[in-house]
A and B are shown apart, each in its own frame.
Chain A
Amino acid sequence: MINILKSFISKVLNNLFKKKKNVRLGLYGPPNGGKTTLANRICKDWLGEDMGDVSNIAHETREIQIKEQISIKSKGKELDFNLVDTPGIATKIDYEEFVKAGMKEKKAKQRAKEATKGIIDSIKWLDEMDAVIIVLDGTKDPYTQVNITIVGNLQARNIPVLIVANKSDLKKSDVKKVQAAYPQYSVIGISAKYGNNIDKFYEGLFAIAG
């Protein structure tokens, strides 16, 4: 009887004081929104290293990339998570666009093939996420069907979402337009490249995954 009581008290205490561990935090969005730049910013801030390569040509990230056990601290709280950087979701891939950007045809075709597989993987991984940061390019139209489909799918799965309007360092950036497009979510304007407003972003992260 005493043992049962001890075990019960131990379980209650563990549940009360244990930190939420191994939260799987996904970075989703259309190509070239700055998902990997943000992943690099997070990894640099808290692990001192980059996560992946970035490029001006779309679909640089074509495979799911995971950085495990990132621990961030904000206002006395701590959050541990595994960061999942996903390939940008698009409805079309044309290798000729890569050729126009200066790539050789063979390489462009290979990139297109890998990009299509990457998109399929991104969609498959939606079910694996505990929380998601949607990274949008703040200089672009937020009302695209890809953005709406991503948001709708996360909503349907009851996955907590934080929307980031990235590239706030650029003149054309319009955070208010992104906020108006998705009023049901918290939208934070940041520059992942320069770290502008990044503290506010980390606070937002605690709100959805803490």
Chain B
Amino acid sequence: MVTFQFVPYHEIEDLGSARRVKRLIDIVKQNKIVLLQGRLKEEEEADLIAIAMEEIKGKFKGIELAVINPEEKSKEGLKRLRSNFYNLVLGDRQGLTIIGPASIVKDIKKDPTKIELLTKEARNRRK
């Protein structure tokens, strides 16, 4: 069985970068797949990878990560500027970030509005 945990943006918006990343990694380490509303900042995404590397031990082999933001390309001119301003002030709540443990999620493919999440077979996961 695969468990998904939805994390609304308001749950992380008041946290500092390090605590945001830690919170998400802690969920993933419980063998759950995180569905985060919106996306992290670019630097936080890099931190997420670095922290995942630090946490690799035993059954935890790292993460699979994908960000889907279908509206990003469709916006032009003023709409894009306005959206960037809101994102700067309120955080980027558009789209979806998927973070799963690499021991469960084999690959995440984007299309770009469709997501395919390939999981590992249960017998392989028990190794």
Contact = CB atoms under 8 A, between A and B. Distances in A.
B46 to A, nearest CB: 5
Interface stretch (B4-12, B15-23, B64-72, B74-82): B64-72
B51 to A, nearest CB: 9
B122 to A, nearest CB: 17
A170 B63 CA distance: 30
A32 B112 CA distance: 25
Chain B interface size band reads: 20 to 34
Given A126-B46, A153-B43, A145 B53 contact: no
A92 B50 contact: no
Interface residues of A, number: 24
A102 B42 CA distance: 36
Given A116-B53, A116-B56, A119-B50, A145 B66 contact: yes
B63 A92 contact: yes
A117 B72 CA distance: 33
Interface in B16-67: 41-43, 45-47, 49-50, 52-54, 56, 61-67
Contacts of A153: 42-43, 45-46
Nearest to A95: B61
A89 B43 CA distance: 14
B67 A148 contact: yes
B42 A91 contact: no
B71 to A, nearest CB: 16
B102 A92 contact: yes
Contacts of A94: 61-62, 102
Nearest to A141: B109
What 7 pairs between A and B have smallest CB-CB spacing?
A: A92-B62, A92-B102, A152-B42, A116-B53, A156-B42, A94-B61, A149-B45
21 contacts: A89-B49, A91-B52, A91-B64, A93-B61, A96-B127, A119-B49, A119-B50, A123-B46, A123-B49, A123-B50, A143-B112, A145-B66, A148-B67, A149-B45, A149-B46, A149-B49, A149-B65, A152-B42, A152-B45, A153-B45, A156-B43
Interface of B: 41-43, 45-47, 49-50, 52-54, 56, 61-67, 102, 108, 110, 112, 127
